[in-house]
Amino acid sequence: MEIPKAPRLAVVLSGGGARAAYQAGVLAAIADMLPAARPLPFRIVCGTSAGAINAGAIAAGARHFRAATHALCDIWSRLHVHDIYRSDAAHLVASGGRWFSSMLPGLGHRRPRSLLDNAPLAELLTREIRFNAIHDAIDSRLLDALTVTASSYTTGLSVSFCTAGPDIAMWQRAQRVGIRTDIRVPHLVASTAIPFVFAPMRIGDEYFGDGAVRQVAPTAPALHLGADRILVIGAARASEDADAPRGGPSPSVAQIGGHVLSSIFTDALGTDLEKVRLINIAVGHIGEERLAARKVPMWNVQLIAVAPSTPLEDIALEHVGELPRAMRILLGSLGGTREGGSGLLSYLLFEQGFMRRLIAEGRRDAEAKRDELLAFFDGAL
């Protein structure tokens, strides 16, 4: 008698800057639905941009999923802006001066690399994530693979850095590639480096930035690694601007910036999820013999997505007063502290009140999908 193959579960954590605190709340709620002492329920963990931080944290805590998610919520709930990037007035004034001088003939000898300095983020990741524990989880077969995706400014490829067992094969496609490596702080910093906001990170001979920029298929790493059940946790609503009023004044710099970031973090994800659903329909109409004969494998993928039910930019406006005064002035000058421009604010507002509210929102949205989530894990634990 043939023994049924156990489902291979994956979690895909997308980007969203400060909004990724929402994902921590979703993960903690899921952990509380499962037996208290169980290990990580996902064989494959994939993270992009700020989602890479959450991915690294739960992979490192694979031995005890609930403890790892609660610790992750604790990290997010203790954050201040200065834990992620320098926000003091002296640095912001100096950064603004470099940008201004770079636009004047003869004064641009020191080209600015970014608006903000995210050196504190690297220090935070070094303190909070036990990267050696990721290898222990793989060696103990609690985890098959962890991927962190970044965009190469050198080659233009979407690169998924992958820490996995020796039997896991890497991949190469037209716009994306999987590279086996030992994931450490630089890979997470690279994946979270929002263009213009944070500087590119050099890894080897290449420079990398935010993984969401060139990632046309966010679920692809999980599929390449053989997942047949995928949980996608987003950090933004796919149709945030659908009900926005028409007309009005010209958009502010912050409104344009928030629109661009929202497009980067949500458009590809929504399109990719729809593509997976269409493939599932096609698989249902193809016989098993024809599927087995295909050179490119196809299989039905159980897919579930959790995303904010409330506009997070509206919540950000309620907490704008928590920002350091210098950052508040900077964002205010760009239109980022009033309605319409708060999208950009929501990506940069790493402050306790906002973080805790997002964690609570994530928990609430996960609880609303309790039955669907428990069905997702059924037969796989």
Q: pLDDT over 90 for what percent of the chain?
A: 59
> What's the whole-model pTM score?
0.88
Q: What does R_g of the chain's alpha carbons equal in angstroms?
A: 21
- Which residue carries 């973090």 as its tokens? 265
Token digits of residue 283: 């698989």
pLDDT at site 341:
83
- Which residue carries 């609880």 as its tokens? 367
d(CA 202, CA 219): 25
Neighbours of 151 (CB within 10 A): 26
| pLDDT tens string 90-146 | 777 666 666 555 555 655 556 666 778 899 999 999 999 999 999 999 999 999 999
Region 242-264: mean pLDDT is 71
Residue type at position 369? K
Half-sphere exposure of residue 282: CA atoms within 13 angstroms, side-chain side:
11
DSSP state of 267: I
Statement: residue 62 has pLDDT above 90: yes
